[in-house]
Structure 1
């Protein structure tokens, strides 16, 4: 999947551009660094769950789901509509690795990444950039869970994000 550059949403790029704006924000390593690879060489942010196999980059990782646009009422001219955009960002980490004292660090890594995403989403400059690109009225909630994945403990944090009532050119 080719990711667009960050830009303003328009009538011909509603789905792709909204996704790209969110993906590029989270995939910027200065916003959300990978705690296991500070150089940024490892694939850290994905558009779907990565397949476990030879090329699996390992834990932790982030998955950003496709955008779910919702059309609201239109203007009198019918050329613009109020659009909302929903998406889910999920952070996955596991208790496989340990620090120098042999303490499991999956939950700690998950908390660190989650905090960095919160900081990125709440940053005033980032919010202004999203608004200028047609994604305003951001709201989110976070669910956390612990799951068993192939016999390993996996920690998840799931952000349900909604951008509300953005007036968007639709025709």
Structure 2
């Protein structure tokens, strides 16, 4: 763990963190931005499967990971979004959050979706699978044509590629 990582605390988000999480997602310029209301609900209803990283000096969130357990497969943790404030990027914080969340939830497998142009997320989840000795499968979950048409001039939505990591309880897997 780096000194920068050690200066952070990881904990469940509180409703009061919703605005900061929304801002971090907005400023990522990569994530699909949900309504500010949805981030408040996320902090209330999915706090047990989400984490924020706070600075030691002021306790403000500088990174987050949100997730949920699939209702039809409760051993599957779906990582919804993960983002780090620009001023804290490049320090391995996203990987630390992902490791901490999966250690806390102890799922059988992890799923997430990544668009083909999101190289940082591809690297994050590929490195996670490699670090833990887990198999990683990729397949298109939602073709871009399933998304509604965008405002004229906006690019069409890219496909969402499902990354399935696990199972965790296989030979060679480690948390």
- How high is the TM-score relative to the length of structure 2? 0.32
Q: More relative contact order in 1 or in 2 (CA 8 Å, sep 6+)?
A: 1
Structure with the higher strand share, 1 or 2: 1
- How high is the TM-score relative to the length of structure 1? 0.32
